[in-house]
Amino acid sequence: MSIITNNRESRVMIFIDLRNIVSSVAMTQSFPFKTDFYSLARLLAGQRNVLAAYVFDGTMGDDEDSAARTRKFHDYLRYNGFRVVERNSVEGREQKEVDVAMACEMVVHALKDNYDVAIVISGDRDFVPAIQHVQSAGKIVEVAAFRTSASEELRRTADKYIELESLPILTMFNKVEDVTRIIITDEEEASE
């Protein structure tokens, strides 16, 4: 619980470190799960006014199947109102510039007074300095991450910390394709 209160008029921006969350799900779950990022964003925002929801990801590798799945998922996110920010990966696997791009967006929007509350969905401690700058601009920062992948320093820095394990955002992945939603499966990501 936090002493800081938010009201329905709070302007919210959501910043999602996609690979951090996908890899955290893969590490913490023994069964194949998929993550519904749309429902996650809505759940974390509650009834507050969401102005923008950004997803930051690196384009992965030369494998055409992997690239096609990533494009399809990014398109799904865009069709559902997310702003997808892509950065190229180095040598097909390692993400570069993704955390920096996310940190820059958070700070720039805070300094322009574009939001009151930033919801950061990542457990990466690299975001601590950016969060501190956002807070020094008078903004509230809520961090949502999996307990096993969230840095202790990140948890302490946030105005509010939410453990994703406690939220109903994961659904069992079945082999029958769900035609109503195209959601990235963490099982596929873990096997790559």
pLDDT band at 143 (very low <50, low <70, confident <90, very high): very high
- pLDDT mean across residues, the chain: 78
Residue 6 lies in a domain: no
Find the domain containing 97 and state its range.
Answer: 11-191
pLDDT for the residue numbered 173: 39
- Which residues make Cβ contacts (< 8 Å) with residue 4, sequence separation at least 6? 140, 159, 160
pLDDT for the residue numbered 91: 59
If one compares 128 and 182, the residue with the highest pLDDT of the two is 128
Residue 157 lies in a domain: yes
pLDDT for the residue numbered 167: 72
Residues of 89-127 as b/e, b for ≥16 C-beta within 10 angstroms?
A: beeeeebebbbebbbebbbebbeeeebbbbbbbbbbebb
Residue 4 lies in a domain: no
In this prediction, residues 6-15 reach a mean pLDDT of 85
Per-residue model confidence as pLDDT tens digits over 60-105:
665 777 778 888 888 989 998 999 998 766 655 556 688 899 999 9
Distance CA 138, CA 117 (A): 9
Q: Strand, coil or helix: what is 13?
A: strand
pLDDT band at 148 (very low <50, low <70, confident <90, very high): confident
Distance CA 119, CA 14 (A): 5
Residue 133 lies in a domain: yes
- Which residues make Cβ contacts (< 8 Å) with residue 123, sequence separation at least 6? 20, 24, 143, 145, 146, 149, 150, 151, 154
Per-residue model confidence as pLDDT tens digits over 37-67:
888 899 899 989 999 999 998 776 657 777 7
pLDDT for the residue numbered 98: 82
> Starting at the edge strand that comes first in sequence, how are the strands of the sheet with 11-17 ordered?
94-95, 83-90, 49-59, 11-17, 117-121, 140-145, 160-163
Which whole-number Å values give the CA distances from 102 to 5, 26, 63, 68, in the listed order?
25, 22, 25, 23
Residue 76 lies in a domain: yes
Residue 5 lies in a domain: no
pLDDT for the residue numbered 184: 41
Q: Which two three-digit tokens encode residue 67?
A: 């690239």
Residue 70 lies in a domain: yes
What is the CATH classification number for the domain harbouring 68?
A: 3.40.50.1010
Residue 1 lies in a domain: no
Which whole-number Å values give the CA distances from 73 to 55, 126, 155, 192, in the listed order?
11, 25, 29, 16
Q: Strand, coil or helix: what is 71?
A: helix
Is the four-CA dihedral 111, 19, 184, 87 of positive or negative sign?
Answer: positive
In this prediction, residues 166-192 reach a mean pLDDT of 45
Query: Is a pLDDT exceeding 90 seen at residue 181?
Result: no
pLDDT for the residue numbered 157: 96
Counting the structural domains of the chain, the total is: 1
What is the Rg, in whole angstroms, of the alpha carbon atoms belonging to the chain?
16
